[in-house]
Structure 1
Amino acid sequence: MASFPAFRAAAVQAAPVFLDTAATVEKACRLIETAAAKGARLIAFPEVFVSAYPYWNWTLNPVQGGPWFERLYRSAIDVPGPEVATLCAAAREAGAHVVIGVNERDPYSAGTLYNSVLLIGADGELLGVHRKLVPTWAEKLTWGHGDGSSVRVHETSIGRLGALACGENTNPLARFALLAQGEQVHVASYIALPVAPPDYDMADAIRLRSAAQSFEGKTFTVVACSTISEEMVELLGHDEATRKLLRREHCALSGVFGPDGRPIGEPLIDAEGIVYADLDLAKSIQAKQMHDVIGHYNRFDVFSLTLDRTRRSGLSFTD
């Protein structure tokens, strides 16, 4: 039976210490401590916060981006590994659930990374690791595909918790697969995207997707997006046009959305900070009386979805 706790959530909007894994993990631990001191029992971090997003895929050709990929590979982490252990210890010390994006190294291949989301329990145990199913657009130059094994909802003391990374929140089937497992709290991690086409407003796109997820599923959505630091602009800005592009405004939004699709409080745009919101999961009960897309407001004799949760591997052993 589902439970309907009330608790405080925190959405972190911040930049990593670019390509510096140890410093970024240390920054994450400080932010966990800060949010927990404000009473947060769920603390959400941006996509691949540890410790870089490959912006060079959008501003350089693939050959020019090769050395940057190697730097990203060397700064990526193993799961499990020492960085994961440090983050788990911080969650345990804070008594808070932590959801954080990382660059995960493939355990066997030096050429494959995954855009992964770690879900950590308040007891410091790693609940799950979700690998982004499909890298978006230019991201295909950096990350491999995840599989259905991590499309899971986790039973926790703050309700049934699920997560998707950035563009996955646009995928109706991925979202429905989590909702159908009883998801009550959805964490959506994003990156600031100043490199998008001129007519694409990333902050508005995040707001739209988050409102849709919450309204359709009658769930709470906690959105955490990264920012672009001046250090990153100087490091990645190989010419003045690129530096100007990376300083583009309205490319990041973090906040919390309720079952009616509306933000709880004011979302944070562009600036670093932490957004706090008090969630009462019981608010979804009456909302679902009108539209329960995983129950009475669906026709499973007409529509069906199959989720293959087989873990994929390049090699199977028979011994």
Structure 2
Amino acid sequence: MTVQYPRFKAAACHASSVFLDADKTAEKACDLIAEAAANGAALVVFPESFLPGFPVWAALQAPIYNHGFFRALVAEAQKLSDGAIRTIRMAARRHGVHVSLGFTEGTDASVGCIWNSNVLIGPDGAILNHHRKLVPTFYEKLVWANGDARGLRVTATEIGRVGMLICGENTNPLARYALMAQGEQVHISSYPPIWPTRPPEEEGAYDLKRAIEIRAGAHAFEAKVFNIVASGFVDAAMREAMGSMGHASLGKASLEVMDNSPRGISMVLDPTSQVLGEVLGEHEGILYAEIDTARCVEPKQFHDVVGYYNRFDVFHLEVDRSAREPAYFSEGAAIARAAEDGALDPAADVLFADGAA
């Protein structure tokens, strides 16, 4: 059987959220999906925590001033079955495209526990993979919980074998290797619009743009994959919200940090780490790139770190994909047995039960 190497057009959305409004952000995502599909894209990629926005406040002021923002984020957090996710899934099906969406995820198990998550949606609207960021980075620990490895997977699709990591996970060599070892061909990297680490008058501030360039290039080169990078964008509404933090001096200080911190960039790299087409940073937009997965093959002749360019007698990696739940209840076994016996319909995906399309 001849190996098939898919070719397709990818779209990276360098876009702002409708800050802390999941439904309106989902509407914006649908518009971007429609535009990208009209331009021939088969994969549309959104930034980290696009739905409903990145919690940049955790970087700008002490936690004692952030309770209102945290409550607002929790209120807009989405479970996989919630309306905003459903809306985007229907848009993916309507336009027949794959969609990678960063979102803040909630749970029925808690009114305050949330995750930094991502879903890969298929062209039929089905959820193909669901990933939670393994470890929130720096001040993100004040907002999001640790994820698990349930979604540390490469998904076989009609456009190739697709994997993804969220922001700082692209600095984690073991997480990256786990995807390489599953035959990844197309990698998705999602980032925030801004990631402040120091006051603007101090030296040594984190350069998000440069960090993205280094990480994206490293993974594309080491894994021999196409790397599609989508970062968020700071719009006037997000800036205004951060300027309203606490009393006037706090808001002014927050805006000074924001205005003088490097922005994230969106781009696409090929398996040699060369940038394909334009790079977006200073304005919103959609960038496109032609992907030919056959180009992943030749570079493997030089370094195949999951093949003959490794020493498996020396190194060993084991990944535990167990879902980490807060409790396990015994009646679950009875329900499972009932489902197996046909006494219960375990249909998990009722996305289109109402006939919506």
1:110 maps to 111
Cα deviation 1:283-304 (Å, max 9, x = unaligned):
1111111111111111111111
Which deviates more, 231-240 or 166-175? 231-240
Q: What's the CA shift for 1:200?
A: 1.9
Q: Tell me if 1:212 matches 2:218.
A: yes
1:276 maps to 288
Q: Is the 8 A contact 1:186 1:222 kept in 2?
A: yes
Q: What's the CA shift for 1:106?
A: 2.0
1:34 maps to 35
1:147 maps to 148
Return the alpha-carbon distance in structure 2 between the equivalents of residues 262 and 40 of structure 1. 20
Q: Is the 8 A contact 1:186 1:221 kept in 2?
A: yes
Return the alpha-carbon distance in structure 1 between the equivalents of residues 46 and 135 of structure 2. 20
What is the one-letter code of the residue matched to 1:46?
A: P
Q: 1:230 aligns with which of 226, 230, 236?
A: 236
2:323 maps to 311
1:244 maps to 256
Q: What's the CA shift for 1:245?
A: 2.1
Q: What's the CA shift for 1:313?
A: 0.9
Which deviates more, 133-142 or 237-246? 237-246
Q: Is the 8 A contact 2:77 2:104 kept in 1?
A: yes
Number of residue pairs the alignment of both structures matches: 319
Q: Is the 8 A contact 1:210 1:223 kept in 2?
A: yes
CA gap of 1:200–1:249, structure 2 versus 1, over 3 A, is closer
Q: What's the CA shift for 1:150?
A: 1.1
2:80 maps to 79
What is the one-letter code of the residue matched to 2:93?
A: R
Q: What's the CA shift for 1:86?
A: 1.1
Q: What's the CA shift for 1:208?
A: 0.8
Q: Is the 8 A contact 1:20 1:75 kept in 2?
A: yes
TM-score by length of 1: 0.97
1:14 maps to 15
Q: Tell me if 1:136 matches 2:142.
A: no
1:294 maps to 306
What is the one-letter code of the residue matched to 1:97?
A: H
Q: What's the CA shift for 1:244?
A: 2.5
- SS of aligned partner of 2:177: helix
Q: Is the 8 A contact 1:134 1:146 kept in 2?
A: yes
Cα deviation 1:145-171 (Å, max 9, x = unaligned):
110111111110000111111111110
- SS of aligned partner of 2:66: helix
Q: What's the CA shift for 1:62?
A: 1.5
TM-score by length of 2: 0.87
Greater Rg over alpha carbons, structure: 2
- SS of aligned partner of 1:148: coil
Q: What's the CA shift for 1:3?
A: 3.6
Residue ranges of structure 2 left out of the alignment (5+ in a row): 199-203, 246-250, 332-357
Query: Once superposed, which parts of structure 1, at least 4 consecutive aligned residues long, lie more than 6 Å away?
Result: none
What is the one-letter code of the residue matched to 1:199?
A: A
Q: What's the CA shift for 1:194?
A: 4.7
Q: Is the 8 A contact 1:11 1:274 kept in 2?
A: yes
Return the alpha-carbon distance in structure 2 between the equivalents of residues 279 and 248 of structure 1. 35
Q: What's the CA shift for 1:55?
A: 1.2
Residue ranges of structure 1 left out of the alignment (5+ in a row): none
Cα deviation 1:190-239 (Å, max 9, x = unaligned):
00225233532111110110000100000000000001111111111142
Q: What's the CA shift for 1:249?
A: 5.8
Return the alpha-carbon distance in structure 2 between the equivalents of residues 203 and 266 of structure 1. 14
Q: Is the 8 A contact 1:249 1:270 kept in 2?
A: no
Q: Is the 8 A contact 1:218 1:288 kept in 2?
A: yes
- SS of aligned partner of 1:40: coil
Q: Identity percentage over the alignment?
A: 45
Q: Tell me if 1:262 matches 2:274.
A: yes
- SS of aligned partner of 2:189: strand
1:90 maps to 91
